[in-house]
Amino acid sequence: MQVNPVYVESVVVLAVVLCVHMAIWNQHSWCSIALVIQAFYVQHKWDRLLKSGAAVFQFRLSANSGIVPASMVMPLMGLVLREKCSASGNVYFERFSMVITITGMMLALFLSLIALGVTRPIPTNTCIIAGLAGSAILYTTKQTLTVSEVIEVLEVLLIFVYLCLIVLYLLPRCFTPGEALLIVGGISFILNQLIKRSLNLAEVKGDPVNYFLPVVVVGSLLLGVFFALLFCFMESETWVSSLFFHMMTAVLVLGILMPWLSLFIGRHPIMWLLDFVTLNDRRLCLLGYWVFLAIVATCVVLHQNYQRQSGSKKHQASTVVRKYFHLIVVATYVPGLIYDRQLLHVASVGCLAVFLLLEYVRYFRILPFGQLLRQLLTLFLDERDSGPLILTHIYLLLGMSLPIWLFPGPCAPKGILTGAGGLVPYAGVLAVGVGDTVASVFGSTMGEIRWPGTRKTLEGTATSVFAQIIAVAMFLIFDGSINLNSTYSWIVGSITLVALLEAYTSQIDNLLLPLYLFILLLL
């Protein structure tokens, strides 16, 4: 019997939703369950639109719409964060988590309405289910949020609409609808929060480290949109255009982003950064070690490119070779997580800025390195890079970094969570660095029994779970801050659920898996 992988993917997501609500039950729980049910119905309408070519935008090929797994990330994350903040007595972040929950529901509901609005014939039953879910969400919003918080949700929704129109038009075939919901929705939320804090500088408080990511994301977005629109009207592969690109990038960074960042941290960012990285010898040693690993990764890219030049022009890096970078990233993140998470936070944000800038240089063919980067990176393309952008390496960085960036420090006593929560910063390392790597390598080399309806193998999934359990044991040995408090069965169950999601999802697993493991470990 042929099994539709979309059904199994939806069942796994529903299992995660039920696990969350077994631990946390409040007025938002019925809304979350209604949302996942309506997303399941709407996903099939999106899939039909994608197959028929009737979708409003051109989405990523060879993948389903991914509405179900993407719709539940922000609502579930807001729920578990609210529970932690409520337990710690942090009222401000408890309210902030409620805003995250409702915002995620509203964005998912809006995306569903788009699909239903362009589906012909109009799916009556699906519209009824979506209407019931929307009514429940709106009623809960009215009951739980203040007027100012509702306005904040609407601001994010408005930014999301405009960003979707811009990003999906300029970058066709780069995302599925679900991936667009996650990425554009996250950027919209960050942009709104940054604007809000910029207008209320008197209320700005917290660790200066936390302001680097929003400024980098917004700055990269402004740079990309500006040059994408500009190079629609002029040639980008000339020295004049390239010089203009470098000059405008310098103006944006030095003239806008640096002063903007200095308003949040209270001093010049470069001086603060120098004091931050030279605080002790351990940080300098970590930086030196990371530079060495970056050189190793560059050598791997150059070696693979040399093999292509000396052999077949159609030579592509194998799955095993691509997973070398996962191992290098694991070797990068684990020492940072054990010894200095703040430095790792800042370094990963800086690495994201560099990756995005290099991708702009490659995409626009900016001289003198644009063509060289295009030649080097096309060696590592796979079916997920069907659009004009190459995002695989950026997704890998995001998957490893998101649990660190999202870690609820203000809601954790002394910056540490008890039980399974102690593994929350390691969610990216476990799901992507260890689990996905082992599943791909063992599945492609030794796997014989395939999961019904997919190319993934039972052997790959089993070794993935086993490898992550071993990794947890290793973290317990080397990181004394982790105290699992007899939550081993929950950890094994969470790892297994996420491994099953990896086997059946066609979305970007580097982005999706760490978020779901983050949610489960945070309970």
Burial class (CB in 10 A: 0-12, 13-18, 19+), 235: exposed
Q: Give the model's pLDDT for residue 239.
A: 86
Higher-pLDDT residue of 381, 170: 170
Q: Give the model's pLDDT for residue 349.
A: 94
Q: What percent of the chain has pLDDT over 70?
A: 94
Q: What is the H or E stretch that residue 345 is in?
A: helix 341-363
Higher-pLDDT residue of 71, 27: 71
Model confidence at 78, in pLDDT bands (50, 70, 90)? very high
pLDDT at 206 over 70: no
Question: Can you count the helices (H) and strands (E) in the chain?
Answer: 22, 0
pLDDT at 203 over 70: no
Model confidence at 237, in pLDDT bands (50, 70, 90)? confident
List, for residues 412-470, the tens digit of each pLDDT value: 777 778 888 889 999 999 999 998 888 888 887 887 888 888 888 888 899 999 999 99
Per-residue pLDDT, averaged over 363-373, amounts to 85
Q: CB pairs under 8 A, 24+ apart, for 87-90?
A: 87/411, 88/410, 88/411, 88/412, 88/413, 90/410, 90/411
Burial class (CB in 10 A: 0-12, 13-18, 19+), 384: buried
Per-residue pLDDT, averaged over 242-266, amounts to 89
Q: Give the model's pLDDT for residue 61.
A: 78
Contact indicator for 72, 10 with CB cutoff of 8 Å: no
Contact indicator for 457, 451 with CB cutoff of 8 Å: yes
In a 13 Å sphere around the CA of 198, the CA atoms on its Cβ side amount to 16
For residue 164, what are its two tokens? 């979707």
Q: Give the model's pLDDT for residue 344.
A: 94
Per-residue pLDDT, averaged over 493-521, amounts to 92
Distance in Å from the first CA to the final CA of the chain: 36
Closest CA to 356 of 170, 238, 218: 218
Say which range, 100-109, 170-179, 328-337, 380-389, has the weakest mean pLDDT.
Answer: 380-389
- Residue 39 pairs in a beta bridge with none
List, for residues 47-69, the tens digit of each pLDDT value: 888 888 777 788 887 788 889 99
Q: Give the model's pLDDT for residue 335.
A: 93
Higher-pLDDT residue of 181, 203: 181
Q: Give the model's pLDDT for residue 469.
A: 93
Average pLDDT, the chain: 86
Q: What percent of the chain has pLDDT over 90?
A: 35
What amino acid occupies position 87?
Answer: A
pLDDT at 312 over 60: no
pTM over 0.85: yes
pLDDT at 243 over 70: yes
- Whether the bond between 214 and the residue before it is cis, its omega within 30 degrees of 0, is no
Q: Give the model's pLDDT for residue 181.
A: 93
65: helix, strand or coil:
coil
